[in-house]
């Protein structure tokens, strides 16, 4: 790890964030800004490359593509994970496409150079026709890429000098460990091609300010005790809460698992005190306990949800710079990943994750065909979010529009995130970037603008 002792001088960042609550529009389409992200951000960050259930058996592999880079992520014989650059050391052909299982290693389809499942070159046809300096043993193995495992996923980093994974994804990792994210498995997996910049796409999912206008069905009358102390039947609150859980479950395809909604419905008529706030907190505790007991009885690994509540980490969302989110709810979670395909195009994936008893996990998940953002098959909540995004990307190009103005209290994460992007684009050393990462790898919802210490 080389985070100190280098002679860095910050590069000038075009369209840098100057006032923390204003974001210049060019950051979302200017080709030069995008190119700086390509060169200075993406090759220096830990990226979620695949879920481990995509490579369940020895020698299973998947190709992870980001920008013009392709990385092979491979399950090793001792059930570890390794990664290699997907380029034959002869003339550069990608040795794999997509995914599969390499029983006896990889053979390049062009001239037949062979590599073992450990990446070592095992055969060069007509080797005598090459000069010795071109066949030096250490120089003809597949080029390794840094790879670590955390949270049920394999992560890669293209920079050999980057710090290890864990300090770059804290405190997100510690919080999600308490949620036991590593024992979640893919129940469904979707992908969307969005005609917008990758940062714009992410920023549509990191604040609650849009919920009232964009998702009016989630604003459920009677869900909170009245502020003026008026008497309210606790039953009304519980009905509203169950209605909310069902709307989230159906609207997001599993962010609240249908089985957890069923458990909540089973608790509709339990005895409760007349005080609505007390009644609600008792009911929530009972629901947490009922969900946990149901899963433990079935043999699944699930955290004690009331314990998470007591620790203050039962937050509905965890953000991991630059492109990975986990949104845990009761026993299940949604998870998102964003990858740029161009200055104004993004691939967004959504996983519905759930818990299963050991040995009864679902089959290896099949990667989804990306749908367009207006595809009628999207569930209602993403349909609503996706309907705004292309309009926003087009709106940014208006001649009279110069910068976004952020609510410093409700949309602070967007500012904190964009300023961290500036830190990477300026080429700052990791010792300067780590404190910034630590202040944004948190629940982004309702985060204020903070001093990210860059």
Q: Which residues bind ligand FES (CB under 6 A)?
A: 88, 90-91, 93, 108, 110-113
Least Å from the CB of residue 210 to Fe ion: 6
Query: What separation in angstroms does the CA of 87 have from each of 63, 76, 83, 94, 116?
Result: 12, 19, 12, 5, 14
Task: Give 89 or 185: the residue with its C-beta nearer to ligand FES.
Answer: 89
- Comparing CB distances to ligand FES, the nearer of 105 and 328 is 105
Looking at the DSSP bridge assignments, the partners of residue 73 are 62, 83
The item of ligand FES, Fe ion, none sharing an interface with residue 385, based on CB under 5 to 8 Å by kind, is Fe ion
Taking the least distance from each CB to Fe ion, the nearer of 62 and 327 is 327
Taking the complex as a whole, how short is the minimal distance between the CB of residue 103 and ligand FES, in angstroms?
Answer: 19
Assign 81 to helix, strand or coil.
strand
Q: What angle do CA 69, 347, 56 make, to 5 degrees?
A: 70
The DSSP code sequence of 303-354 is --HHHHHHTT---S-EEETTTEEEEEETTEEEEEEEEEEETTEEEEEEEEEE
Burial of 57 (0-12, 13-18, 19+ CB in 10 A): exposed
Please report how close the Cβ of residue 110 comes to ligand FES at its closest, in angstroms: 4
Return the one option of Fe ion, ligand FES, none that residue 108 interacts with (CB less than 5 to 8 A, by type): ligand FES
> From ligand FES, Fe ion, none, which one binds at residue 111 (CB under 5 to 8 Å depending on kind)?
ligand FES
Least CB distance to ligand FES at residue 125 (A):
8
Q: How far is the CB of 133 from ligand FES (least distance, A)?
A: 17
Point out the residue whose Cβ comes nearest to Fe ion.
Answer: 385
Q: Residue 240: which H helix or E strand, with range?
A: helix 234-252
Q: Which two tokens stand for residue 14?
A: 């075009």
Concatenating the DSSP letter of every residue in 374-396 gives: T-TTS-HHHHHHHHHHHHHHHHH
Q: Which is nearer to Fe ion, 173 or 248 (CB)?
A: 248
**HSE of 70 in the Cβ direction (CA atoms, 13 Å)?**
15
Is 183 or 443 the residue whose CB approaches Fe ion more closely?
443
Residue 62 · residue 54 · CB < 8 Å = yes
- Closest CB to ligand FES among residues 9, 126: 126
Q: How far is the CB of 337 from Fe ion (least distance, A)?
A: 17
Q: How far is the CB of 107 from ligand FES (least distance, A)?
A: 8
184-194 and 371-372 beta bridge pairing: parallel
CB-wise, 8 or 110, nearer to ligand FES? 110
The contact set with Fe ion (CB under 5 A) reads 385
């Amino acid at each position: 790890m080389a985070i100190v002792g280098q002679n860095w001088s910050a590069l000038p960042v075009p369209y840098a964030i100057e006032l923390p609550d204003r974001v210049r529009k060019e950051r979302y389409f200017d080709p030069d800004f995008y190119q700086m992200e390509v060169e200075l951000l993406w090759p220096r960050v830990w990226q979620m490359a695949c879920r481990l259930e995509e490579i369940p058996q020895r020698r299973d592999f998947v190709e992870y593509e980001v920008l013009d880079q392709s990385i092979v992520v491979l399950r090793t014989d001792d059930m570890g994970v390794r990664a290699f650059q997907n380029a034959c050391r002869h003339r550069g052909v990608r040795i794999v496409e997509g995914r599969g299982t390499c029983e006896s290693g990889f053979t390049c389809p062009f001239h037949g150079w062979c590599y073992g499942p450990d990446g070592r070159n095992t055969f060069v046809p007509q080797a005598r026709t090459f000069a010795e300096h071109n066949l030096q043993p250490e120089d003809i193995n597949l080029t390794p890429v840094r790879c670590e495992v955390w949270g049920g996923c394999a992560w890669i980093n293209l920079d050999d000098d980057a710090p290890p994974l864990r300090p770059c994804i804290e405190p997100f990792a510690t919080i999600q460990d308490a949620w036991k994210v590593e024992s979640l498995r893919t129940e469904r997996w979707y992908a969307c091609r969005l005609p917008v910049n990758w940062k714009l796409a992410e920023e549509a999912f990191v604040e609650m300010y849009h919920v009232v206008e964009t998702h009016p069905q989630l604003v459920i009358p009677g869900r909170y005790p009245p502020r003026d102390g008026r008497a309210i039947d606790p039953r009304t609150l519980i009905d509203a809460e169950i209605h909310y859980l069902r709307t989230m479950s159906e609207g997001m395809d599993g962010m609240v698992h249908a089985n957890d909604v069923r458990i909540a419905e089973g608790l509709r008529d339990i005895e409760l005190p007349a005080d609505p706030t007390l009644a609600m907190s008792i009911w929530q505790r009972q629901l947490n306990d009922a969900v946990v007991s149901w899963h433990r009885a079935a043999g699944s690994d699930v955290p004690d949800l009331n314990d998470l509540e007591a620790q203050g980490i039962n937050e509905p969302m965890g953000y991991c710079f630059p492109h990975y989110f986990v949104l845990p709810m009761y026993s299940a979670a949604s998870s998102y990943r964003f990858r740029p395909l161009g200055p104004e195009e993004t691939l967004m994936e959504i996983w519905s994750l759930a818990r299963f008893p050991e040995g009864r996990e679902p089959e290896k998940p099949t990667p989804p065909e990306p749908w367009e953002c207006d595809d009628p098959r999207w569930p209602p909540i993403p349909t609503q979010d996706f309907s705004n995004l292309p309009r926003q990307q087009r709106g940014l190009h208006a001649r009279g529009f110069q910068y976004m103005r952020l609510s410093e209290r409700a949309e602070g994460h967007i500012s904190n995130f964009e300023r961290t992007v500036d830190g990477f684009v300026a080429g700052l050393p990791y010792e300067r970037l780590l404190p910034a990462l630590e202040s944004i790898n948190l629940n982004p919802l309702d985060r204020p603008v903070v001093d990210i210490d860059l």
